[in-house]
Amino acid sequence: MLFFKDVAETFLKIESKSGRLEMTDILAQLFKKTDVKEIDKLIYLVQGILAPPYDGIELGLGEQFAIRAIASAAGYDRSKVESNYKKSGDLGLTIEELFAKKKQQSLSSSDMDVLYIYDSFVKMAKTSGQGSQELKIKYLTELLNNSSPTEARFIIRFVTGRLRLGVGDPTILDALSFSRTGDKSLREELERAYNVCSDLGYVAKTFFESPEKIVEFKVQPFKPLQPALAERLSTPKEIIEKLGSCSIEFKFDGFRLQCHKKGNEVELYSRKLEKMTHMFPDVVDAIKKLKVKEIIFEGEALAFNEPQKRYFSFQQTMHRRRKHGIDAASKELPLNIFVFDILYLNGKDLTAQPYSSRRKTLESIFPEEILKLSEKIDVKNEKEIEKLFKQSISEGLEGIMAKDLASPYTAGKRKFAWIKLKKSYGKAVDTIDGVIVGYYLGKGARVEFEFGGLLLAVYNEDNARLETVARIGSGYTEEEMKELQEMLEEIKTTAPPDKLDYKVEPDFWVQPKYVVEVAFDDITLSPMHTCGVKDDRGYALRFPRMQKMRGDKSISEITTTREVVDLYEKQMK
């Protein structure tokens, strides 16, 4: 049995380390003490979640509710808790300090194991209906009453989504391999298993049951795969130099769906791996009619304007998701799905097959009325690519996607198996996708909106940290400013996000949650930003302006520091 006090002590050790190897070793030692019945729950706790995103289990406990529970458990007024929090900027440190000089002691306490802690969190998350918030506070207070100061520190951080460990999924995967083999020899197999089921707890449990099962791990319905990601190049010539003969597909400005069917059961997942099934009954019905028992395929969803015989923009298509009247929305904004890849069919994992083979399988199944096969053209030279690119732009599409005919489906990987070539926006070199890490108050004409711009970050894969790249002050409509202010107000924090490197500070920090697409004129070197910083200067976007919210994208898909550096170097050439 693994006690939570041991987990909390391990978390404390990890916090004091900055090197990934040290963190890996500490985690591996903890995993060695963990039973097969506990490992999946422990993994979720380390990740700071209760379940993979497609299960939709979230605690939903804000800072104010946590403050009430701390006050109750520690025996202080809320004002005392809030005052301490303002100084520390960390509710975990606040409760640890208050517990160290606790006014009231619980009548009895006992060691809590990992399963008890995890089940308590799940109970809180599933409490709903009238009076649910009060019940959640009650359950949390009971946990805190039974906790040591160190345990309380991490319990509070977990329920408020601020665990601060600095441990990414790659470190967890390394530690799992080390815990059983003493080295990283099974890391690649573990990572592939994770990428094809998106559930690290399930992977760990399977691995603990038998390491051999990981080597044989297969795709399965209703455990969505991490989406394959495309690299970018700037010209048709570069694409031919990289791939040679390849296939070209038009790049639609829609949102990506991963569709799963087994028997008469169907589930739809966004690229963020959230369930979308209930939003699209028309798509579900079309998938049920497919003459296959089991299938997993991907497609780009676009709303279709029947009277005008044209496709709506991304923004209008995304509006379909937000409609409350689902049936009415499906008639007003009917969807077409342009199917572009197949990953699984009737019990067979197809991800290892080359793209050319997967495409032939697709062509034997589709199209249907709603489910349409994406158009594919094989090309041999840059002139053919240039012609297709111009055709795509003239038809109002985003650009093209070039695909390596021999490549397998690389779940969760950004590789040159897929290469995107997108249109420019005005003078813009390109666009990037970044995550909002803070926002500024409005000034002058924008005072009434309490919103004046965003602080944007990209992801550095080398050190697993976020780095600022732009302050965005333009590109918003008045309606968008109001919406952004309301959205960001809900995730405002007193401290900067974990694993963020920054030099400039916004008026308000926020949890890294929302992804936006940003256009810019070029990339410059700036002492104000930390993207790829070298000699006190980082890369920054010049004249950035917001293009659109990317509600379909997760933080794992934002532009990387390496991509920004590549764009800068191409620009200089």
Q: Is the pLDDT of residue 375 over 70?
A: yes
d(CA 112, CA 130): 29
Assess whether 359 and 473 both reside in one domain. no
In a domain? residue 189: no
d(CA 152, CA 571): 51
Assess whether 414 and 267 both reside in one domain. yes
| Phi, psi (deg, nearest 5) at residue 532 | 60, 35
Q: Please enumerate in sequence order all residues whose Cβ is within 8 A of that of 284, keeping only pairs 6 or more positions apart, or say none.
A: 266, 268, 277
Contact status, residue 388 vs residue 246, Cβ threshold 8 Å: no
Last residue of a domain, one of 370, 390, 422: 422
In a domain? residue 247: yes
Last residue of a domain, one of 395, 422, 449: 422
Q: Which domain holds residue 63?
A: 4-159
Assess whether 403 and 499 both reside in one domain. no
In a domain? residue 329: yes
Q: What CATH number is given to the structural domain containing 555?
A: 2.40.50.140
Tell me what pLDDT residue 43 has.
Answer: 97
Assess whether 445 and 555 both reside in one domain. yes
Tell me what pLDDT residue 59 has.
Answer: 82
More confident site: 130 or 26: 26
Assess whether 406 and 273 both reside in one domain. yes
Per-residue pLDDT of 13-37, as tens digits, reads 998 887 788 999 999 999 999 999 9
Q: What CATH number is given to the structural domain containing 130?
A: 1.10.3260.10
d(CA 4, CA 552): 36
Structure letter (DSSP) for residue 278: G
Assess whether 273 and 407 both reside in one domain. yes
Q: How many domains does the chain have?
A: 3
In a domain? residue 202: no
In a domain? residue 58: yes
In a domain? residue 521: yes
| For the chain, percent of residues with pLDDT exceeding 70 | 90
In a domain? residue 168: no
Kindly report the pTM of this predicted structure.
0.84
Q: Which two tokens stand for residue 92?
A: 């975990």
Nearest to 89 by CA among 508, 559, 554: 508
Assess whether 414 and 482 both reside in one domain. no
d(CA 219, CA 345): 10
Last residue of a domain, one of 109, 133, 159: 159
In a domain? residue 153: yes
Per-residue pLDDT of 193-218, as tens digits, reads 999 999 999 999 999 999 889 988 99
Assess whether 470 and 499 both reside in one domain. yes
Q: Please enumerate in sequence order all residues whose Cβ is within 8 A of that of 556, keeping only pairs 6 or more positions apart, or say none.
A: 226
Assess whether 416 and 440 both reside in one domain. no
Tell me what pLDDT residue 425 has.
Answer: 44
More confident site: 266 or 21: 266
Assess whether 282 and 417 both reside in one domain. yes
Looking at residue 5, its amino acid is K
d(CA 275, CA 328): 20
Assess whether 435 and 525 both reside in one domain. yes
Per-residue pLDDT of 485-494, as tens digits, reads 888 988 888 8
The catalytic residues are 251
Q: What CATH number is given to the structural domain containing 304?
A: 3.30.470.30
Instruction: List the Cα angle 257/261/264 in 5-degree steps.
Output: 135
Assess whether 417 and 436 both reside in one domain. no
Nearest to 505 by CA among 551, 552, 468: 468
